Amino acid sequence: MTQIDEERFSRDFVEMKAVEDFRSFIGRVKKSVPFYQGKLAGIDPESIRTPDDISRLPFTNKDDLREGYPFQMLGVNMSQVQEIHATSGTSGSAVVAAYTANDLKLWGKAMARVFSRAGVGPDDVVHNAYGYGLFTGGLGMHYAALEVGAAVVPMSGGYTQRQVKMLKDLGATVICSTPSYAQHIAEAMEEMGVSRDDLRLKVGIFGAESWSQEMCRELETQLGISALDVYGLAEIIGPGVASECLAGHEGLHMAEDLFYFEVVNPDTGRPVPEGESGELVLSSLKREATPIMRYRTKDITRVLPGPCPCGRTTRRIDHIKGRADDMFTLRGVNLFPKEIESELLRIEELAPVFQLILDRNSALDVLEVHIEPKDGDVLHEHLITKVKTHLNRTLGINVMVSVKEPHSIPRSEGKAVRLVDRRKLIR
């Protein structure tokens, strides 16, 4: 069966199978993971008959995984583990994600679907600029290329001028990186006098961070590609949980036969009606080494209604709006960094980089927006007024604006740090 066939099952079948798979998943994790033995004590797997039954089971959150560091969440013997990844742990201890041989097959399958949705196959050369290492981006894309029979160039991040040279010399048709790093590569191309016509790129597979539609359009124009969004997280599998197809930005197809998903109200934990925004909750139904039940991702999205024109029947989620952690409130307006990115990218005089510094002035949150002019000669006063007025008109917020020297805002080689929250440092 091809990846496409697996994504065209009838909805009734997918939904019936999902509950069945969930039931056996509960039985399995209850036996194999000590953490779930405690958490699921008193719950009979056989009592799980409907999505509503699932929605009443306990959640797992990041603190549970941190407390389980390094191996308490392991559901197999170490002799069965073949690969171990970990999240960076910048805001607490790291979280370990382990894989058995079957888990690596599962990951390959999920990632092959990502590539097949993007039209990538044996004739393609994949330039992989996601970081290789403990981060799952590099190897996830690598396995996808192997699975669909494409040639892969394992660039990893960094050495940006060399990235441009290799893109050109090796005739890459596919680029994989974070969207912010792709922006940096596009900027380097311009400086090196390399145009999109010197490259053979046709598609970009971008994810691991929030990015706006404006950034997507910019990358499509700069690189001459379809820029597709891919979503995932190490705790569940890595990249491959969901991704866009070539139908034209119609949302991200969920691999819902491999990963059970729910969207819940972040305050109450109860499911939201279809189409309403909430927090994505994921269960890695088939994972052996570190299986996770009802994981609170903190990622905010919604289920898109109706079928996709591409013919796949899997449900789709909207682009991730942001992480619940990254949302801030300015005088009553709730905002995610991506919404500010959308607006800044509409201002022509600005380079496509920015940083947001969030601080607290007595009881009120204040936001300073760091921007860079595209052209060093532009009047700073003019830019400051323009950005302030634009953000006030479009988002209804008052911000401070600081114009930085060209090339002084740090460029990202992986996940960009868009928001520096100084309030957290004060607390």
Q: Are 253 and 243 in contact (CB under 8 A)?
A: yes
Under the binding rule (CB under 6 A), the answer on residue 336 touching ligand DLL is: no
Choose, by CB under 6 A, the member of 229, 244, 256, 339 that binds ligand DLL: 229
Q: Given the rule CB under 6 A, which of 30-38, 64-72, 151-159, 227-235 is the region that contacts ligand DLL?
A: 227-235
Choose, by CB under 6 A, the member of 99, 231, 259, 336 that binds ligand DLL: 231
Choose, by CB under 6 A, the member of 209, 218, 279, 413 that binds ligand DLL: 209
Closest CA to 84 of 72, 93, 75, 71: 71
Size of the site for ligand DLL (CB under 6 A): 22
Per CB under 6 A, contacts with ligand DLL among 29-88 are: 87
Per CB under 6 A, contacts with ligand DLL among 82-141 are: 87, 130, 135-137, 140
Nearer to ligand DLL, 236 or 344 (CB): 236
Smallest gap, in angstroms, from Cβ of residue 338 to ligand DLL? Answer: 8
Smallest gap, in angstroms, from Cβ of residue 146 to ligand DLL? Answer: 16
240 to 279: interface string for ligand DLL, x by CB under 6 A? ----------------------------------------
Closest CA to 369 of 350, 386, 355, 349: 355
Smallest gap, in angstroms, from Cβ of residue 384 to ligand DLL? Answer: 30
Under the binding rule (CB under 6 A), the answer on residue 412 touching ligand DLL is: no
Q: Given the rule CB under 6 A, which of 30-38, 98-106, 160-168, 204-212 is the region that contacts ligand DLL?
A: 204-212
Nearer to ligand DLL, 234 or 350 (CB): 234
Smallest gap, in angstroms, from Cβ of residue 323 to ligand DLL? Answer: 5
The Cβ of residue 240 has, within 10 Å, a number of other Cβ atoms equal to 30
Q: Given the rule CB under 6 A, which of 35-43, 202-210, 254-262, 360-368 is the region that contacts ligand DLL?
A: 202-210
> Which residue has tokens 């190490």?
234
Largest CA distance in the chain: 70
Helix (H, G, I), strand (E, B) or coil at 369: strand
Nearer to ligand DLL, 25 or 130 (CB): 130
Smallest gap, in angstroms, from Cβ of residue 107 to ligand DLL? Answer: 11
Gap between the Cα atoms of 55 and 52, Å rounded: 5
The token duo for 26 is 């509960």
Nearer to ligand DLL, 40 or 215 (CB): 215
Smallest gap, in angstroms, from Cβ of residue 147 to ligand DLL? Answer: 16
Cis peptide leading into residue 34 (ω within 30°) = no
Gap between the Cα atoms of 102 and 130, Å rounded: 23
Helices (H), 298-427: 337-344, 380-395, 422-426
Under the binding rule (CB under 6 A), the answer on residue 292 touching ligand DLL is: no
Nearer to ligand DLL, 136 or 156 (CB): 136
Beta strands 260-264 and 333-335 are unpaired
The token duo for 271 is 């499911």
Residue 316 CA, chain-centre distance (Å), reads 14
Smallest gap, in angstroms, from Cβ of residue 407 to ligand DLL? Answer: 26
What angle is formed at CA 274 by the lines to CA 282 and CA 342, rounded to 5 degrees?
80
User: Packing angle between helix 337-344 and helix 213-223, nearest 10 degrees?
Assistant: 50
Calculate the dihedral angle through the C-alpha atoms of 288, 115, 138, 232, rounding to the nearest 10 degrees. -50
Beta strands 333-335 and 328-330 are antiparallel
Query: For residue 84, which amino acid is it?
Result: I
Gap between the Cα atoms of 384 and 161, Å rounded: 32
Per CB under 6 A, contacts with ligand DLL among 134-173 are: 135-137, 140
Helices (H), 40-176: 51-54, 62-67, 101-117, 136-148, 160-169
Choose, by CB under 6 A, the member of 68, 157, 204, 239 that binds ligand DLL: 239
Choose, by CB under 6 A, the member of 234, 285, 303, 399 that binds ligand DLL: 234
Choose, by CB under 6 A, the member of 173, 183, 210, 222 that binds ligand DLL: 210
Residues that bind ligand DLL (CB under 6 A): 87, 130, 135-137, 140, 207-210, 229-234, 238-239, 297, 299, 320, 323
